[in-house]
Homo-oligomer: A and B are copies of this chain.
Amino acid sequence: MQQGQPIVIYIMGVSGTGKTTIGLHLAEETGLPFFDGDDFHSAYNRNKMASGKPLTDKDRYSWLEAIRSHVVDQLNTNSCIIACSSLKDRYRQMLAEGIESQTKWVFLHGSYNLILERMGKRTTHFMPTALLKSQFETLESPREALKIDIQNSPSDIVTQIKQAYICPSEFGVIGLGVMGKSLCRNVASKGIRLAMYNRHIPKTEENVAINFKNNYKELASTKAFDDLKAFVNSLQTPRKILLMVNAGATIDRVLSDLTPLLSQDDIIIDGGNSHYADTERRIQYLEEKQIHFIGCGVSGGEEGALKGPSMMPGGKKDAYKKIEKYLTKIAANDKDSKPCCTYIGKGGSGHFVKTIHNGIEYVEMQLLAEVYHIYRKMGKTASEIAAILSEWKSEVNSFLLEITIRILTTVEKDDFLINKILDKAENKGTGNWATIAAAELGVPTTLIASSLFARYISSFKDERIVLSQAYKKKEHNIKLDDNIILQAYKLARIINHHQGFQLLKEASNALDYQLNLSEIARIWTNGCIIRSDLMETLAPILEDNNNILINKDISNCITENKDDLTKLIIESISSELAIPCFSEALNYFNGITEENLPANLIQAQRDFFGAHTYQRNDDDSKNYYHSNWK
């Protein structure tokens, strides 16, 4: 259904130009009501025409007034479409009287011979063909009409009318869940003409789009649909459609419904957390249909989607260029007012980068959870912990730190809400994919794996209860200065970001994504869940795409804080606490800074039992050797 000030579209032209046919098509595609002007003739006029006599102007005036009066009624509630020959300026003035600003003209024109030939095929029309000549003589071509040659196909004619008068939407969103709704409000508030669609499921999802539209002022001029075809037809071509539906099979289902309705060069943007391999597959599948597919990571949660998320679009650059102006309007801005949206690279790179973003996020969350765990075991209340973390903001501020403070101070009845929440962490798969990507690419992104597995350990709650009885822990008096914990936290976060960007670098090489790490860090400085002061620091450091550990400021920070991280781990494990992510940060650092690791023994063992051969440290040729160890 079309929105805004109602209009009437008069489809005019001599008899036989197909006014009724076009009017009916247009009505079907837009959902607007259609009326045939001929139906408003008086019985007297009809008889006169049937007997072959042309109508006088007086005959016509009463007819035209009948039509106009009906249109005025319609415009009180809705737009409408009227087929009416309207051959003279005078007639048209009458039809538009009092509703001039809402009146749109479509003039269907064609040659006398073409129309005569077409009329010969019509048998049900009451007007004898003989009158055509008089119509041509009467016709005064209109000046302000949309003039369309009837040699165009009916569907082309309808498309031209829609483009001119129905004010097509620039941007469509499919899927009005938490993220989809927030993004719609964001898009509409940027003055982008938006069409929104949500499927119709009896009883569970009824009128979702219309109800949503009616609930928010900023959506007043959007169009709301639960009919997919009408939604698609409401969009200006090439269409730009953002999918905000569940990742996985749902995307494929939506695509199979959607693609038959699309035209060449339309662009679909998947804003969900899809697996990058699925995105590659979909790009190829849609390319065969000459439809573009952009896999766009969107981070920021509900609030970010509303106020401006960080956006990571990947796919064909040409296609990205056509949606860039929309995405950059929607996205958050960085400190220099540049949008937190950049072209990531080809194929599934946008979703790959989002996956690693989420992996880094898992670690950031786990480190805060371990900090909370330590403080809680030191006997501090949630609000005491929040107070300490508030002090940290000047040194290590981040979105996740801020919400942690707000969470820890949230009270429910007589207790902190955090104390009522079950300690079984769940996940939606991206941490899993990030871990798998690291395993497959041969990159030691150990903190993401550690954080993923920490969630898994937490999920075995029943087993933990049984084992906590079987292995009773002692009472411990944990002694850790706040500053030690802060400095350890600072260092562990550096290792996390180092590992995340190393994974992006290796993936970029392996998958030929040609990622710009600094630019990725920049679009992560605002809008997204892992935005932080540290990310601001890293964006310029990553300009050379190098390992951040060799940056002087970073290495100074690490060198200063390493002892604190070591102390935190010693005190924690001495107190029987699990701090897997802190531990792994230190072990990784001790490993990656170790010239001689004991992997020579592993190579020897592999050669011993499996003849897998090994390289030597006294042979730079990289030759492989096998020894007879028996």
Whose C-beta in chain B lies nearest to the C-beta of A550?
B470
A302-B609, A574-B570, A604-B407 known; A432 vs B439 contact (CB < 8 Å)? yes
Q: How distant is the Cα of A400 from the Cα of B601 in the complex, in angstroms?
A: 11
Taking a contact as CB atoms under 8 Å apart, the answer to whether B464 and A439 are in contact is no
Q: How distant is the Cα of A300 from the Cα of B610 in the complex, in angstroms?
A: 8
Question: Is A173 engaged at the interface, CB distance under 8 Å to the other chain?
Answer: no
- A549 proximity list for chain B (CB < 8 A): 467, 470-471
Task: Indicate which residue in B438, B452, B471, B627 contacts A555 across the interface (CB closer than 8 Å).
Answer: B471
Contact with B along A229-249 (1 / 0, CB 8 A): 000000000000000000000
Question: Is A440 engaged at the interface, CB distance under 8 Å to the other chain?
Answer: yes
Taking a contact as CB atoms under 8 Å apart, the answer to whether B471 and A559 are in contact is yes
Taking a contact as CB atoms under 8 Å apart, the answer to whether A577 and B597 are in contact is no
Taking a contact as CB atoms under 8 Å apart, the answer to whether B370 and A417 are in contact is no
Taking a contact as CB atoms under 8 Å apart, the answer to whether A418 and B573 are in contact is no
Task: Indicate which residue in B370, B464, B598 contacts A598 across the interface (CB closer than 8 Å).
Answer: B370
Whose C-beta in chain B lies nearest to the C-beta of A445?
B453
Q: How distant is the Cα of A468 from the Cα of B424 in the complex, in angstroms?
A: 39
Taking a contact as CB atoms under 8 Å apart, the answer to whether A468 and B570 are in contact is no
Taking a contact as CB atoms under 8 Å apart, the answer to whether A421 and B603 are in contact is yes
Q: How distant is the Cα of A599 from the Cα of B368 in the complex, in angstroms?
A: 10
Taking a contact as CB atoms under 8 Å apart, the answer to whether B422 and A608 are in contact is no
Taking a contact as CB atoms under 8 Å apart, the answer to whether A421 and B617 are in contact is yes
Question: Is A410 engaged at the interface, CB distance under 8 Å to the other chain?
Answer: yes
Q: How distant is the Cα of A50 from the Cα of B418 in the complex, in angstroms?
A: 109
Question: Is A373 engaged at the interface, CB distance under 8 Å to the other chain?
Answer: yes
Contact with B along A395-425 (1 / 0, CB 8 A): 0000110011011101000000111111111
Task: Indicate which residue in B302, B420, B435 contacts A611 across the interface (CB closer than 8 Å).
Answer: B302
Task: Indicate which residue in B420, B428, B602 contacts A616 across the interface (CB closer than 8 Å).
Answer: B420
Question: Is A443 engaged at the interface, CB distance under 8 Å to the other chain?
Answer: yes
Task: Indicate which residue in B583, B604, B610 contacts A301 across the interface (CB closer than 8 Å).
Answer: B610
Taking a contact as CB atoms under 8 Å apart, the answer to whether A593 and B464 are in contact is yes
Task: Give the number of residues in A that approach B within 8 Å (Cβ atoms).
Answer: 116
- A336 proximity list for chain B (CB < 8 A): none
Q: How distant is the Cα of A584 from the Cα of B468 in the complex, in angstroms?
A: 18
- A436 proximity list for chain B (CB < 8 A): 436, 439-440
Whose C-beta in chain B lies nearest to the C-beta of A572?
B590
Taking a contact as CB atoms under 8 Å apart, the answer to whether B417 and A604 are in contact is yes
Q: How distant is the Cα of A178 from the Cα of B486 in the complex, in angstroms?
A: 54
Q: How distant is the Cα of A471 from the Cα of B178 in the complex, in angstroms?
A: 46
Task: Indicate which residue in B444, B467, B583, B618 contacts A583 across the interface (CB closer than 8 Å).
Answer: B583
Task: Indicate which residue in B303, B446, B608 contacts A406 across the interface (CB closer than 8 Å).
Answer: B608
CB of A444, distance to nearest CB on chain B (Å): 4
Q: How distant is the Cα of A350 from the Cα of B574 in the complex, in angstroms?
A: 41
Taking a contact as CB atoms under 8 Å apart, the answer to whether B578 and A591 are in contact is yes
Question: Is A426 engaged at the interface, CB distance under 8 Å to the other chain?
Answer: yes
A452-B439, A573-B586, A588-B457 known; A467 vs B425 contact (CB < 8 Å)? no
Question: Is A118 engaged at the interface, CB distance under 8 Å to the other chain?
Answer: no
Interface residues of A in 494-521 (CB under 8 A from B): none
- A406 proximity list for chain B (CB < 8 A): 608, 629
Q: How distant is the Cα of A309 from the Cα of B325 in the complex, in angstroms?
A: 64
Q: How distant is the Cα of A609 from the Cα of B304 in the complex, in angstroms?
A: 8
Interface residues of A in 586-630 (CB under 8 A from B): 586-606, 608-612, 614-618, 627, 629
Taking a contact as CB atoms under 8 Å apart, the answer to whether B365 and A602 are in contact is yes
Question: Is A376 engaged at the interface, CB distance under 8 Å to the other chain?
Answer: yes
Question: Is A135 engaged at the interface, CB distance under 8 Å to the other chain?
Answer: no
Q: List 16 A-B contacts (CB under 8 A).
A: A303-B609, A368-B601, A406-B608, A407-B601, A410-B627, A417-B604, A418-B604, A419-B600, A444-B460, A449-B453, A454-B597, A457-B591, A458-B602, A471-B549, A578-B591, A584-B587
A residues with CB within 8 A of B: 178, 300-304, 365-366, 368-370, 372-373, 376, 399-400, 403-404, 406-408, 410, 417-426, 428, 432, 435-436, 438-440, 442-446, 449-450, 452-460, 463-468, 470-471, 473, 529, 547, 549-550, 555, 558-559, 566, 569-570, 573-574, 576-580, 583-584, 586-606, 608-612, 614-618, 627, 629
